[in-house]
Amino acid sequence: MKLGFIGLGVMGRPMALNLMKGGHEMAVYGRRAASVESLVAAGARAFPTPAEVAAHADIVFTVVTNSSDVEEVVLGTSGVIHGAERGSVVVDMETISPVVARNIARSLAEKGMDMLDAPVSGGPMGAEQATLSIMVGGKPAVFEQVRPLFQCLGKTIVHIGDHGAGQITKACNQLALLVTAQGAAEALSLAKRSGVDVARVRDVMMGGVAASRVLELFGKRMIDRNFENGIDTRLYYKDLDIVLALAHELGIALPAAALTMQSINALIGRGEGRQDLSSIIRIVEDMSGAKP
């Protein structure tokens, strides 16, 4: 298939390469020239605007940073909408507001194009190993059209519902992930303050009901004080902002989300927003007086 890929960062680059490994032709656009080099070396063609990428592709994937970035690369003056033909599909795979996802889908539909909102979970490792979980919103027929491409990227691929449903699901995923990370940080801080072996406490927790992928991955980084790898904490701020905006719109209380947002906000305020989420334990330790 003739594909396009816009956004070649820590997630997008390996995802685009995995699609190319599936034998598909690839056109790419990245804001930084260096970001396209590995794709071009693998056989992709680089273009100077998203519109030109769309002109050479039937299906265009986007993995940029936030809602405004997606609006710019899809609907902006040199966006996908100005280069794509009728019948083309845009597959939006970052985490953005479901309201924005629906608005973009509506704008594309007016030009005879389709869209799927298909955010992912699994992080950089999942992107590299093509083991992502993909949650999809949009028309069922369009989902079936794109499903073979999703299978180049992930293992768990679920059509949730209409436009925006994928983004709502991702918001729920991030809410559970981030609140669990806050809980893991508090549990490990309590263990340390109590004078017991924190690594052994985590081992026991991993063997019981408290076990989780969050405790496995982020909990180990908290114990090892390995805060330099993974996804920047500042990006999780965006995710929780989406969660809390949805809660506000629906008139529901999410107290754990609000507390976790304060921890993330504190990290960013201290200039540590580019560190891994596991660094949230520093905020808990500072509040409790526990020492690393």
Of the candidates 141, 154, 91, 81, the residue with the CA atom closest to the CA atom of residue 111: 81
Token pair in block for residue 262: 């304060």
Token pair in block for residue 74: 């899809």
Has 170 been annotated as catalytic?
A: yes
Rounded to 5°, angle at Cα 213 from 209 and 218: 115
Annotated catalytic residue, options 2, 155, 170, 192: 170
Question: Which uninterrupted H or E stretch holds 133?
Answer: strand 132-137
Q: Residue 177: which residues within 8 A CB-CB, separation 6 or more?
A: 121, 214
Q: Are 263 and 182 in contact (CB under 8 A)?
A: yes
Q: Are 136 and 159 in contact (CB under 8 A)?
A: yes
| Phi/psi at 212 (5° precision) | -160, 160
> Which residues carry out catalysis?
170
